[in-house]
Amino acid sequence: MSVFNAVMALSGMIDTDVIENEKLARHTSYRIGGKADLFIACHSYHSLRRTIEVLSRERVPWVIIGKGSNLLVADEGYRGAVITLGSEFSRFVLGEDGSTITVGAGAILARVVNEALSKELSGLEFAVGIPGTVGGAISMNAGSRTEWIGSLVEDVVTYKPGSGIRHYACDDVAWGYRECGLPRDEIVLEVTLRLNPAPKDEIRTRMERALSRRRRTQPLGVPSCGSVFRNPPDRAVGALIEECGLKGFSQGGAEVSSVHANFIVNKGAATADDVASVIRHVHGKVKEIHGVELQPEVKFLGF
């Protein structure tokens, strides 16, 4: 692996920002994480393709992240390159039919929700308050317990390193609870969503109702990764954890939230090891008491 050669090849490349030894705590909602050898912002498709070609040639491991809203990065960081999608991937285009929107994978989901409101298009109200990027939302089929972004997808454009751009219609992809059937070795570039025209007041009312529910039931003002575990079939994982008496359980600076037991929050000085210890403890207790093998929703990097 030659990080030095990669830096030399990427420095000065158009539409590419390269930072060495960047603290990933600056790029996760947990505010936790050590340094990455390289942090690269690619602002165009050409930049992304060229960056991955260079990293592959120099045998530097790489990973794509959005806003790090469901990511726990190890205290030791990541020995490789972390890539994020920049300006060209943040575009929002309203279709000629007035009901579809095409959005870059790097766009902030909250901005897309507000853009849909401004265009009087309904369908994304459930996503209000969900952090992260559109690409991340598509990759994990983000949503509530009953509504998912995958149900709105008309078309997805991806990049397969070494092969090029690929298109998928909605029916080409298997969508499930927190699951998306797109190949894991492909990078989401943009998505077209089909929405429904509706009066702005009605959309705003539904958004306010959804946001009020999130504020009431989730610890939104404290650093976290959102839901840590997926809900098992026909079970609410928060209730399972609470029934184990684990609300308020802590290790170092990490704590099971007293607001929602499926949130592990950073009280201010938590390390990744603290969070991982709490995750292991919760997983073990739920299996011991309920016989349920919880599956993590949070992604791990550098462990």
Distance between CA atoms of residues 296 and 227, nearest Å: 9
Tokens of 193: 């969503």
For residue 250, indicate whether it is catalytic: no
Tokens of 141: 């089929």
For residue 178, indicate whether it is catalytic: yes
Local structure of residue 89 (DSSP, 8 states): G
Tokens of 250: 């802590």
Tokens of 23: 């603290």
Closest CA to 25 of 88, 75, 86: 75
Q: Which of 122, 139, 227, 257 is catalytic?
A: 227
Q: What is the pTM of this model?
A: 0.92
Tens of pLDDT, residue by residue, the chain (303 residues): 789 899 999 998 999 999 999 999 999 999 999 999 999 999 999 999 999 999 999 999 999 999 999 999 999 999 999 999 999 999 999 999 999 999 999 999 999 999 999 999 999 999 998 999 999 999 999 988 788 999 999 999 999 999 999 999 999 999 998 889 999 999 999 999 999 999 999 999 999 999 999 899 999 889 999 999 999 988 899 999 999 999 999 999 999 999 999 999 999 999 999 999 999 999 999 999 999 999 999 999 999
For residue 297, indicate whether it is catalytic: yes
Contacts of 27 (CB under 8 A, 6+ apart): 33, 39, 65, 67, 68, 82, 84
Q: Which of 186, 190, 255, 297 is catalytic?
A: 297
Distance between CA atoms of residues 112 and 168, nearest Å: 21
Q: What is the pLDDT of residue 177?
A: 86
Q: Which of 178, 194, 214, 230 is catalytic?
A: 178
